[in-house]
A and B are shown apart, each in its own frame.
Chain A
Amino acid sequence: MRLGLVLSEVGHGLRRNISMVISIVLVTFISLTFVGAAILLQLQINQMKGYWYDRAQVAVYLCTQYDEGGNCNAEEATAQQKSNIEQVLKSAVLAPLIQHYDFEDHEAAFKRYQAQFAGAEGTSFVTPDFLPETFWVNLKDPSQSDAVVERMSGVPGVEQVVDQRKYLQPIFDALNAASITAVGIAGLMLIAAVLLIATTIRLSAFSRRRELGIMRLVGASNRFIQTPFVLEGVVAALIGSALASGAIVAVVQFFVQGYLNATPSSTPFVDLGDAFIVVPILIVGGAGLAAISAAVAIRRYLKV
């Protein structure tokens, strides 16, 4: 009996304010889509960090006869220097940080080069002695690369030491900036959504002030008076959240998986599993926000 009455009141209110309800739906839809996009971007960043940081190595490039930078003097690193470098890698200072390291000689570097740039123009001019011999160092904790870079840079025979993570940082910075922008837009839109919900609920209450007056007079409980209005806001916001969730799932399914993932690249992308982490956040967040703003908006009409 009571549930039916409450629901019929909700339906009544929604129909009476249909244009306001549509604007709530649209504003929550757009704002929550931005929220969802920001969360997806963060998930993408984490995924890429996990993937690349595991693979990122510190490269200790040795001198070739063409190098004059670093500790080089246009002379190939000598066997003595190489063994010295290896001693440093095995030293008590660095050994605990290093998981393992590999040595890559000119031939191996050349093979890798040929494989990487197969078919590219100009590769035929490159000979193995152009490509530096390299110690590839895998760290136990990639964030401690600075110690290795600093220690190795001064060793004779080392041309330069490069932490591959540094190449990734600009990408993460760009993604981070994009997600902060999305959060900013989402925040502004959510403020608009909250104000719109509050205004709609006040309008709805105003158009039902006769009923509200009688309800208060005959002793309807505050909860009973409040519930239809709160539900009205929640229903409108839920439709918006559902649309936003659909948009997020569609973007992941068709753009990220269907398009980005189809391009030849070994970068891992967010998948539907990630999208389904975002969906409940949007639904619960949207409904919760609507419930709170509607409850605050209707409070004035409950004052006894």
Chain B
Amino acid sequence: MVMIRFDQVTKLYAGSARPALNSVTLEILRGEFVFLVGASGSGKSSFLRLVLKEENPSKGQIHVLGQELGKLSSRKVPYFRRNLGVVFQDFRLLPQKSVFDNVAFSLQVIGKSKGFIQEAVPDVLKMVGLAGKSGRLPHELSGGEQQRVAIARAIVNKPSILLADEPTGNLDPATSAGIMTLLERISGGGTTVLMATHDAGIVDKMKRRVIELVSGQIVRDESQGGYQTQALPVQRQAPPPTASGFGAPS
């Protein structure tokens, strides 16, 4: 079952001649674990924002969870987002709320009952390994623990898709490994995970599907890839010819 489909999607920002995404076409299936790699400015974040419908494509169509985002009215966008979980590099926790309240907040604001929250939040905190720390404030936790809170918040409503924008970008390798184990477990539960990252070590070790973006174009889509290509790049469209060439492993 296709969870995310991009069909010839181009994203142009006002004031920039070069598109952030250039005619991107791809499909991501249910339960897949996908790494999105590429240099800064290659279009990874734009890709995630388009999936979230934080932005609209300049050209092309995007289907997420069977819905065409272009036809989704802005009134319905909040309800669409309830099926998506998101985590960021900077965690984005509410500093004055405890771990429990941070996770509970995301359920309260979508109108979940007190009873549901009392059951769901401890469950998800246990799953991310923070069972004993529900009363702590974010600044009393380590970076890895804060990211676990953010992940708990993203998955507590059991989303079909989890988007992660460099979730290990602020963490040391050992802590990152712990976070990846957690994401793998979430993926194993049937959730589609789409993770944008710069962390070559993680991508190489996990051996999952890798999509590489360069200047807004997909230059590689490998089912069990590494951070850098092990095989000839899968190119759906010829890259623009440049003097230096591109795609050769350095």
Contacts and interface: CB of A to CB of B under 8 A. Distances in A.
A219 interface: yes
Chain A interface size band reads 10 to 19
A219 B79 contact: yes
Instruction: Give the interface size bracket for B toward A.
Output: 20 to 34
Interface stretch (B31-39, B106-114, B127-135): B106-114
Interface in B20-52: 52
A220 B94 contact: no
B53 A215 contact: no
Interface string B80-100: 111010100000101000000
B9 to A, nearest CB: 18
Given A217-B86, A219-B80, A224 B111 contact: yes
Interface in B60-95: 74-75, 77-82, 84, 86, 92, 94
Contact of B92 (A5, A214, A304): A214
B157 A218 contact: yes
Contacts of A263: none
Nearest to A218: B106
Given A1-B108, A219-B82, A213 B92 contact: yes
Contact of A214 (B53, B79, B106, B113): B106
Label chain A's interface by main secondary structure. Answer: helix
A218 B109 contact: yes
A50 B82 CA distance: 64
A165 interface: no
Contacts of A303: 74
A203 B206 CA distance: 46
Interface in A278-304: 303-304
Contacts of B109: 5, 214-215, 218, 220, 224-225
A221 B92 contact: no
Nearest to B111: A2
A215 B78 CA distance: 9
Given A1-B113, A5-B108, A214-B105, A219 B81 contact: yes
A304 B74 CA distance: 7
A220 B52 CA distance: 14
Contacts of A213: 92
B148 interface: no
Given A211-B94, A304-B54, 17 more contacts: A1-B111, A210-B92, A210-B94, A214-B92, A214-B94, A214-B105, A214-B109, A216-B78, A219-B81, A219-B82, A221-B78, A222-B74, A222-B75, A224-B110, A224-B111, A304-B53, A304-B74
